[in-house]
Structure 1
Amino acid sequence: MTIFSIGEILLGVLIFIVIYYWRINRSTPMTKWPVLGMLPGLMHNMSNNYEYINLILKQNNGTFIFEGPWLTNLKIVYTSDPMNVQHITSTKFENYGKGDKFREIFEFLGEGIFRSDFHKWKYNRTLLHSIFKQENFKVFIYKTVAKKVDSSLLVFLDHACKQGLQVDLQDVFHRLTFDNICSIVLGFDPNCLSIELPEVEYERAFSQYEEAIFYRIFKPKFLWKLQKWLKIGVEKNIIKNEKILDQMLYASIKSKRKIQYQQQFNLLSALMKETGDGKNSIDDMFLRDTAINLLGAGRDTISSCLTWFFWLVATHPFIEAKILEEIKENLPSRDGNWKDLGMEGLTKLIYLHGALCEALRLYPPVPYELQSSWKSDVLPSGHKIKSNTMIIYSLYSVGRVEEIWGEDCLEFKPERWISKKGGIIHVPSYKFIAFNAGPRTCLGKELSFIEMKIIAAIILLNYHIKVVECHPIIPCVSEVLHMKHGLKVMVNKRSI
């Protein structure tokens, strides 16, 4: 007579449970396990997170509820339903905000515009809008970007051409946009982009921080809080990088306080001037919080879009030719310089604008937006929402909804943005949500297009970009949609 040990019996029970749950859940995209909930499936597919969530959303008509391990109270509503997005961002805007969970995860953003709610958010937005809407601020953006492109980007790319160097274009855009946004917001250029490609502590800290912080969304709160308290694992690096960035920010604020009348315009000084020196003046912490929010928005989103844009264009030579022809047509002469375009010339680059919108649709810089409900509600999809429920709408998935974009939604087609009369087709923001929607629509949308068009037009006019053969193009699982292995290219001078 065979006698089974306790270990063998437990193993048998475990195998039975695994098979049982696999059988009852095999027709569903995400298995809900005992104790662990749906977390194992999510973690197993983390390296392919965007496509995995996109598949689940498609199989659930655009909305599903993720349930975490027992006792963690982790429940997330995922959606790509445009009606749900409109409901959350516009129709019932007052019932949805960043909430306590977002504020805990992204605590480093302080009371800046991306983390605040209610009157603090309104104050932030009103103050920034008063500066962003000024025509001279747009001119300042144009001149700052054009100057940096002329003095650094073209010099670097010319050097790469002459030396026959393989270039990581994503790294180049990280450096370029960080230099630009530091000049715009803080009034100093860290010179990240030069022939030597120096390692700049501030720029590196930004990259490491945003990649690490993403995992807080899916980790049980007690776990990342414990790691932070013990200063171990990913949280140890987060603390280190936060300290580096704070040192940079407060040093910049201190220098601006000392110089009362500045010759060079920058956003930090403009905020000080806007609020005055009296009872309405703003303290260093407010300036720091505003600056870190703007630095993140101005560096990461633009560099991400440009990286995906150049990969798409480089792999679609017919589209590249059409963009190049449009740029040349808008130059005063066929052998004209890129500087001859000017701000007015940029507005005439309709096909380029459409191509940038396509890149943003397919690869939105911020793949997920996180919101929280203040009170109970019912979404247009019929899903009941309790108070303090975390909701994630997938910008990545919204850009792949066939009902919005058609059966060819996975194709790169700038033409879908251009009307029969040759203008840009307006798509409601809750469908094209790269710049968010409703009252939280990005204030810097127009300024972002100015910078992206300058950089795209100058590179395409002067160089031919060829992606290195067999180079893997994989999205990096992060707060911002970067390429995991960068974008390795060869750069060749173009004869105009």
Structure 2
Amino acid sequence: MESASAPADILGRYVSSYADVRFHMQANYGFLWALILCCGGVFATMVFLFLLWKHHPSYGANPNGPSFPLIGILPFVLLNKHQLYEWCCFLFDRSPSLTLRLNTGRSSISVATVDPQVVHHILKTHFPSYPKGPSFYPFFAELLGNGIFNCDGALWRFQRKVASHVFTSNSLKNFVMAVADAEIVSCLLPTLANNLDADAHIDLQALLMLYTFDTICQLTFGSDPACLDGSKFKKTYGNCNISASTHVTSVDDRNASLHISYARVPDQLIQGFVQGFQVALQITADRFLIPDFVWKTKRFFKIGSEKKLIDAMEQVDKFASFVIELGKQELASGKDRKDLLARFIRLAKEQTESLDHDNNSDKQEGMVISDSLLKDILLSFILAGRESIASGVTFSMWLICVHPIVEREVLKEIAKILEGRKSNDAGKTARFTYEEVRKMNYLHGVLSESMRLYPPVPSNCKFAAQDDVFPDGTPVLKGSQVSYNVFAMGRAARVWGEDCREFRPERWLDENGVFVPASPFKYPIFQAGPRICLGKDFAFIQMKLLVASLIQEFEFAVQPGFKPKLSYGVNMMMTNGLPVTLKRRSTLPC
């Protein structure tokens, strides 16, 4: 019986095992089909959502720029971070309008434009409706405080009137020329002459940044930080004579001959200011590249970069307090000083309220130029003067180097000016006079064309103080961020024509070769309307003098294959510098 039942037991176990296997297989098949159906459903849903997003007029099909709910256009900004300026140009080019309404993921829509008539609306006809705004002030609060570039309303109008009084002084023009020329002749050209090496590249942008910082500090505070003189570019070997007409024996002799008086400031204060200002500027610029809550949290707890900013500003404030007090003492003793600090101190002693002759304007009684406000104003001028001139000259020199025809035309203009000098001017020490610089029409066109393509300040933001409608019909809600994109405007075919991407200095000259400026609302490099830059003319004087002096003395060659990488922040610079080699120029073209 036991032997007979064994096969049956085996068969039974086999059948039972087969049933279990089949059951598990059916269960697995069921799970697999469920998984397939689930994945298919998810895929179909994603396809549906993608198609819905792609064709939705407020998101993927938005002619102003694609965006997502909640996070807005941020993913596309991050995706195009390496070419952000070019991507902005692409958005404007593909848009039926020159004004974009962008969803930035915030509660209100941001509005950006490259339309000259809209820029005119923002900067002039509806100027009071578009201030800097409360969302802008905190970014520069530590560095610029309540300075003219970081305030609105009555405080801004007061500073503007005072600054206008200073900048319209006839003597300031001669002082600017004297300081710029002295720095070029005594420091910049000898430094370049000591770096004549056919194989070694130097960073011309870094050199120009040192030059402009030295110059703007002399113009503003009456103190020379001598960054260029103590830089890695300054060598102690070699024959650094420039041309006979510009050779000077020493900086002090040169300054004495031009009646330039600089404040005697301890070296440690100067070094602290130089280093502190650089650190403060970098940290302030970085704030624009990160979410607000990140840097505001760090500032609240005084940690990380915000702690470094506090320490840096302590050094800046020590220097500013010292030179302001020293300036007051020297002026009280009768010392003749022509820098902006001295001019503002003199003006502060007068009845500054008398500058306001409009009885209908906001009352400004009680407003005085305190030491704190004076520091904020002067630091604002240092920031603006240093960055705009260094950027403008750097990109201009690069474009001149890669366009030999343009370089030749600039040299021919310089040669013509030199030929026109009177015989009794042959022994002069200055590179060029103010009148000679004014005659450089073609060079003025070169600089203007360079800044059209590579503006020192690529974008400018405002705040909508009330609901409004732009001239092109774009609605603007109160509280919106409003900006005009200077970089994209200079490359917009509907603004500058089909050749807008070409470097053509001739577009700025009339049939007689005389420079003809464009409308500041079409070319808002120095802003426009009531906030137009007071130092615009002085900036062009310095840039023309600097470029003319450089290419008259040296031949520059850019490193083969070089292409500038543009920085993102308050000012546009080359993140990879401008590597050049140079050799002395033998003759000027006829």
**Which shows bigger deviation, 251-260 or 26-35?**
26-35
* Alignment counterpart, residue 276 of structure 1, candidates 331, 346, 349: 349
- Work out whether 1:98 is the aligned partner of 2:132: yes
1:378/1:385 contact within 8 Å kept: yes
Distance (whole Å) between structure 1 residues aligned to residue 284 and residue 394 of structure 2: 22
2:181/2:431 contact within 8 Å kept: no
CA-CA distance at 1:466 after TM superposition: 0.6
1:272/1:281 contact within 8 Å kept: no
CA-CA distance at 1:32 after TM superposition: 2.0
**Which shows bigger deviation, 10-19 or 119-128?**
10-19
1:367/1:480 contact within 8 Å kept: yes
- Work out whether 1:405 is the aligned partner of 2:499: no
The count of corresponding residues between Structure 1 and Structure 2 is 493
1:175/1:203 contact within 8 Å kept: no
SS at match of 1:492: strand
Residue segments in structure 1 that go unaligned for 5+ positions in a row: none
CA-CA distance at 1:215 after TM superposition: 4.9
* Alignment counterpart, residue 318 of structure 2, candidates 224, 232, 247: 247
CA-CA distance at 1:494 after TM superposition: 0.5
Match for residue 64 of structure 1?
Answer: 100
**Which shows bigger deviation, 273-282 or 77-86?**
273-282
Residue segments in structure 2 that go unaligned for 5+ positions in a row: 1-29, 234-269, 352-365
Distance (whole Å) between structure 2 residues aligned to residue 201 and residue 48 of structure 1: 36
* Alignment counterpart, residue 158 of structure 1, candidates 177, 193, 200: 193
2:89/2:492 contact within 8 Å kept: no
- Work out whether 1:331 is the aligned partner of 2:367: no
1:210/1:478 contact within 8 Å kept: no
TM-score, normalised to structure 2, is 0.77
CA-CA distance at 1:397 after TM superposition: 1.2
Q: Encode CA deviations 1:25-60: one digit per residue, 9 max, x unaligned.
A: 555574322332221211332232211222112222
SS at match of 1:489: strand
- With over 3 angstroms needed to count, the CA separation of the structure-2 counterparts of 1:332 and 1:201, relative to structure 1, is farther
Aligned counterparts, 1:33-72, within 5 A: 33-60=68-95, 61-69=97-105, 72=106
- Work out whether 1:308 is the aligned partner of 2:395: yes
- Work out whether 1:89 is the aligned partner of 2:89: no
SS at match of 2:150: coil
1:249/1:291 contact within 8 Å kept: no
Distance (whole Å) between structure 2 residues aligned to residue 200 and residue 318 of structure 1: 42
Structure (1 or 2) with the larger CA radius of gyration: 2
* Alignment counterpart, residue 322 of structure 1, candidates 389, 403, 409: 409
Distance (whole Å) between structure 1 residues aligned to residue 582 and residue 197 of structure 2: 9
* Alignment counterpart, residue 162 of structure 2, candidates 127, 136, 153: 127
1:227/1:235 contact within 8 Å kept: yes
- With over 3 angstroms needed to count, the CA separation of the structure-2 counterparts of 1:50 and 1:245, relative to structure 1, is farther
SS at match of 1:160: coil
The residue type paired with residue 336 of structure 2 is Q
CA-CA distance at 1:139 after TM superposition: 0.2
Aligned counterparts, 1:451-490, within 5 A: 451-490=542-581
Distance (whole Å) between structure 2 residues aligned to residue 92 and residue 18 of structure 1: 42
Match for residue 537 of structure 2?
Answer: 446
* Alignment counterpart, residue 220 of structure 2, candidates 185, 189, 194: 185
Distance (whole Å) between structure 2 residues aligned to residue 399 and residue 427 of structure 1: 12
Match for residue 141 of structure 2?
Answer: 107
- With over 3 angstroms needed to count, the CA separation of the structure-2 counterparts of 1:311 and 1:489, relative to structure 1, is same
Match for residue 175 of structure 1?
Answer: 210
CA-CA distance at 1:12 after TM superposition: 6.7
CA-CA distance at 1:227 after TM superposition: 2.8
Distance (whole Å) between structure 2 residues aligned to residue 308 and residue 41 of structure 1: 28
CA-CA distance at 1:68 after TM superposition: 2.8
Distance (whole Å) between structure 1 residues aligned to residue 539 and residue 378 of structure 2: 17
Q: Give the share of equivalent positions with the same residue, in percent.
A: 29
Distance (whole Å) between structure 2 residues aligned to residue 252 and residue 375 of structure 1: 42
**Which shows bigger deviation, 223-232 or 268-277?**
223-232
Q: Encode CA deviations 1:428-469: one digit per residue, 9 max, x unaligned.
A: 110011111111111111111111111111001000111112
